[in-house]
Homo-oligomer: A and B are copies of this chain.
């Protein structure tokens, strides 16, 4: 790729699938770091966690009731209660001292350790207590109402597999096993550069012909939602020297540029990336965001997204999200991070064979309605929509009243 592409058009359009395959093959998981289990929410485990102890580490009562030898209760019923000598009480956290022998019982609370000799707990509801005695109305089998040693976790169990996204329950398992630190994949740091002569920041006074930068804020927040780290580099004019310098100065794991990605005279970004490194993809068979590109500078993936915010968002979802996931040790399908739900499509959607369309749709009482957008430029198409309907490249569209699967925001 060289400067001859200027004002001419894309060399070759890639399919979305091809781009995802390139990402899958060329992006590698980041380094591993060890962090406190308390900080590990939504991080991805980079090691198997193997239990070094049993949970619970002792047999304990699973109900409030009476600890007994199960065999002593055999034959008990409401018409034929059996009498047990009540020899004490056990509450959680206290260690049992007296053992249980034939026809003896100890009052026991949920979570308390079972005394030696006992192998079952009779529920409170099946017993009637009087002084030093308890009547049992129901037979229990050995193990009844007992949480056995290792019932939840056994020594040697793999409790967390490498590659697991750590959710609250995993944090709980780490706490239970007193695993204070866990190896996880580093979070990608992502540089965000917005290009364009006409771009100013929200705080600045706007002259006619100028546009407020919304892409920095949109992309930063999308990056946050995917548990990566955004590093905003600000906006630069369409100046080859300045953009080049800024890209070269980036030390982040991913670089995103918006604007200047097309094939017009001012669309410097692909030219700069091809000079600094390699442009792998430029031009993708999709709508919106077809001028999206992807390359590498010093083995760092660089995405050049279109300047219009809706197109930038869809390209981010389609390509940057899988890159983030891959770096964090996960795999990802196209828009795999969206909740899917089926709806009836209220109006026909037309597309072209060979191109993947991302149609913004709105929920109505009857189903979903495609939002008409006259240009890809329409950020509010993303705020008015409730989700995205993908028209795959091998389809000419969907008919009205067809059931379609929507990716819900």
Binding site for B on A (CB under 8 A): 7, 9, 37-38, 41, 55-58, 60, 62, 64, 91-96, 107, 109-113, 124-125, 147, 151-153, 157, 159-160, 167-178, 180, 196-199, 202-203, 206-222, 224-225, 237-238, 259, 262-267, 307, 309-310, 313, 339-341, 374-375, 377-380, 382-383, 409
Contact = CB atoms under 8 A, between A and B. Distances in A.
Taking each of A147, A157, A168, A266, which has the highest tally of chain B beta carbons within 10 Å of its own beta carbon? Answer: A168
Contacts of A377: 56, 62, 147, 151-152
A169 B382 contact: yes
A94 B266 CA distance: 13
Contacts of A176: 212, 214, 379
B265 A109 contact: yes
Given A110-B264, A175-B212, A198 B62 contact: no
B175 A380 contact: no
Given A109-B264, A111-B307, A340-B341, A167 B409 contact: yes
Contacts of A339: 339-340
- Please list the 5 inter-chain residue pairs (A to B) with the smallest Cβ-Cβ separation, ordered nearest first: A64-B264, A93-B198, A93-B197, A168-B221, A92-B198
B221 A171 contact: yes
Q: Is the interface of A mostly helix, strand, loop or mixed?
A: loop
A403 to B, nearest CB: 13
A331 to B, nearest CB: 15
Given A64-B264, A262-B64, A41 B113 contact: no
B151 A41 contact: no
A59 to B, nearest CB: 10
B168 A58 contact: no
Given A38-B217, A383-B173, A409-B167, A151 B378 contact: yes
B170 A383 contact: yes
Given A152-B380, A168-B222, A58 B209 contact: yes
Given A109-B266, A375-B62, A41 B221 contact: yes
A7 B124 contact: yes
Given A124-B264, A151-B378, A339-B339, A307 B173 contact: no
A383 B167 CA distance: 8
